[in-house]
Structure 1
């Protein structure tokens, strides 16, 4: 994508989100990028809060999820309860069947424990490539990222450019605290993943996620067998 197009998209997005009210900001974004706005949900606290706004305000934003095939039963239950509550579609994207079959046939179903390379290849097949398909032909990707998610995200801004996918990104909850988020969930009785009540903070695939212990880092429960500096799956990059 040409630099001028990138700068134009970021300027337009910056102007649209120049308000402290998240509902107004999202309305402005869909007005500025008609038919071009998409939101990814993993059914986390953050994503449930944003989905609640999108669905109750009937905003024309495509909502999708990446079904890796290794999710917790509780995550699938939250998906179902969200559909029941809002009666709005959530589009699933799945791994390419042939790529996944070849990978597992060659290395086994739990090979991601054996090396960082295997784990990142698994993440690519189950999450990154399906994400690339989901984002095709879209202009703005809305996420539930918060600065508290990772030390690598403390210097992020609410608007950024994802060069890997040639798309502008907007993180409306970037500076929300966990207390603010939980209060919002309670206020509107939003369905959420019950694993959050059992010490699971950042919830991904079942084999790669555990509850965190008191005092542990927010991301300690993800890929806990790896060095902390490697704990990203490739969905959110800054290329």
Structure 2
């Protein structure tokens, strides 16, 4: 096991591993001391789970259940759990916060006053609570996922959004340099599970009320929060580390 990288070492590692394969970056992450886990929700994350499984190293996986996911997504989570024989740590929002939001503003307030408040309660707060127990996390972020926000994602970074006082959280993005085509070539080649919604035109899949299929030649993030500005399609999970 390698020691948890300091901030100076993180930058050096990001440079050293900038052109290395996702598997090599993932192996480095899983060799770090402390508690490390893969954040799982979509196709990219299953690729990471498959790679971790093939590396033969112990690994943890967690997933956020917002309470508003598609039925197919819940089935997909369980399919992945069974396929790899792993435990998936499910993180839930605080019921009191959800109840207050729904009672005050209804079930679809995000269509009027944007998605950030709902995402904050259902996604960001549960993630923050989970990451407080970890020393590092592994994500499926790619540079080409969102126009204007993710184009400068490094393969390794100090997590400015979720590090706490006296604790440095390290974020690994092994697929940062991959395209959507790279992800799907891997999925097909390795014959690994994927969300059946992808067969219905969904590319980037989030909560059911906030996700829809995209048309040919539309960017994948256009299916998320389609009523909002196209260059700000972020729920807050990665906002603390993204370029403005």
* TM-score, length of structure 2 as denominator length: 0.87
Residue among 142, 147, 152 paired with 1:146: 142
**What per-residue deviation string (whole Å, max 9, x for no partner) do you get for residues 67-92 of structure 1?**
00100111111111111111111100
**What per-residue deviation string (whole Å, max 9, x for no partner) do you get for residues 172-198 of structure 1?**
111112222111111111000111122
Answer yes or no: is the 8 Å Cα contact 1:63–1:90 preserved in 2. Answer: yes
2:152 aligns with: 155
C-alpha change, 1:20 and 1:62, in structure 2 (3 Å) is same
Does residue 1:34 correspond to 2:33, yes or no?
yes
C-alpha change, 1:218 and 1:120, in structure 2 (3 Å) is same
Shift of residue 127, structure 1, vs aligned partner: 0.2
1:22 aligns with: 22
Cα separation, 2, equivalents of 1:60 and 1:17:
22
Does residue 1:120 correspond to 2:116, yes or no?
yes
RMSD of aligned C-alpha atoms?
Answer: 2.0
2:99 aligns with: 101
Would you say how many aligned residue pairs link Structure 1 and Structure 2? 231
Cα separation, 2, equivalents of 1:36 and 1:16:
23
Structure 1: which 5+ residue stretches go unaligned? Answer: none
C-alpha change, 1:230 and 1:29, in structure 2 (3 Å) is closer
Give SS of 1:169's match. strand
Residue among 192, 211, 217 paired with 1:215: 217
C-alpha change, 1:29 and 1:15, in structure 2 (3 Å) is farther
Matching of residues 60-99 of structure 1 within 5 Å:
60-99=58-97
Answer yes or no: is the 8 Å Cα contact 1:17–1:26 preserved in 2. Answer: no
Cα separation, 2, equivalents of 1:176 and 1:134:
27
Cα separation, 2, equivalents of 1:6 and 1:150:
29
C-alpha change, 1:158 and 1:55, in structure 2 (3 Å) is same
Shift of residue 171, structure 1, vs aligned partner: 0.8
Cα separation, 1, equivalents of 2:193 and 2:153:
28
Cα separation, 2, equivalents of 1:81 and 1:91:
14
* TM-score, length of structure 1 as denominator length: 0.89
Give SS of 2:222's match. coil
2:200 aligns with: 198
